[in-house]
Chain A
Amino acid sequence: MVPVPLALGLTLCDYVLVEEGTKKVTLVGSFTGVRAGSFPHIPLPFCVYAPLTGGLGEGTLELTVTNLDADEEIYSLVRSIHFPDRFIEVRALFRLHECEFPAAGSYLFTLLVDDEWIAHRRIRVYPMEATP
């Protein structure tokens, strides 16, 4: 896709409420850390929300989760997207189920369009008994 869109944000949160009719969204429980009882840890389903603008045409949107300590990608979701014009806002809402964190550490959520980096957000996953 040329030009590649710009991410207006990348937020991890517990829920996203979508209002019928108006299509307004409300992000609930934005977080940057996960406390785990044991490992591997599968948290409850959560959301990643990213409004994008400035793109034009067809492209492939991908969200990846990388274990930064092991330098290993552990999860990804892919979807094609379409920007009819450069001022349209494409609001990408990922709902992640069964995103398994194999160990405590830092994890990077990266958003890509046609394999080009768009945005990233780091979270830390730590054991329940530890101090974050």
Chain B
Amino acid sequence: MTIPAPEHPESGTGSTEALDSVLVIIEGPGDKTRRRRRPKIPLTPPTPRPPRSDNAAGDQRPAK
């Protein structure tokens, strides 16, 4: 729904607008074909990374 821009008072208060952007409107009844969900997104959380086995305490190099 498009609405007219409100009139701003000419008192130097300024105004705002949507700059550097493109509005893309996608209308439609869309595709209603039923199909199995495509495996695009993992719905289970990723497995955590194993802890680092070496030098886990940080950069503590043995003294030479």
A123 at the interface (CB under 8 A from B): no
Interface contact A72-B24, CB-CB below 8 Å: no
Q: Is there a chain A Cβ closer than 8 Å to B22's Cβ?
A: yes
The A-contacting residues of B in range 11-58, CB under 8 angstroms, are: 15-18, 20-32, 34-38, 40-41, 43
Decide yes or no whether B2 CB sits under 8 A from chain A: yes
Residues of B close to A20: CB separation below 8 A? 2-5
Using a CB-CB cutoff of 8 Å, which residues 90-124 of chain A contact chain B?
90-100, 110, 112, 115-117, 120
Q: Hey, what's the 0/1 contact readout for A6-23 against B, CB within 8 Å counting as 1?
A: 000000000111111111
Bound-state Cα–Cα, A110 to B21, Å: 22
Interface centre among A21, A24, A115, A117, by most chain B C-beta atoms within 10 angstroms, is A24
Distance to closest chain A CB from B21 (angstroms): 4
Query: How would you classify the secondary structure of chain A's contact residues: helix, strand, loop or mixed?
Result: strand
Is the pair A88, B26 in contact by a Cβ cutoff of 8 Å? no
Complex Cα spacing A74 to B27, Å: 17
Docked-complex contact B21 and A89, CB < 8 angstroms: yes
Residues in B neighbouring A31, C-beta threshold 8 A: none
Contact (A99, B15) CB under 8 Å given A89-B21, A91-B23: no
Identify the closest chain B residue to A120 (Cβ): B41
Q: When the two chains form their complex, are residues B24 and A79 in contact, meaning their CB atoms are under 8 A apart?
A: yes
Q: CA separation between A43 and B6, bound complex, in Å?
A: 31
The answer, yes or no, to whether A58 is at the interface (CB within 8 Å) is no
Task: Knowing A22-B5, A25-B18, A73-B37 are in contact, say whether A95-B24 is a contact too (CB < 8 A).
Answer: no
Interfacial residues, chain A to chain B (CB-CB below 8 A) = 15-25, 51, 61, 63, 66, 68, 71-79, 81-82, 87-100, 110, 112, 115-117, 120
Top 6 nearest A-B pairs (CB, nearest first) are A22-B17, A89-B21, A117-B41, A21-B5, A23-B18, A77-B30
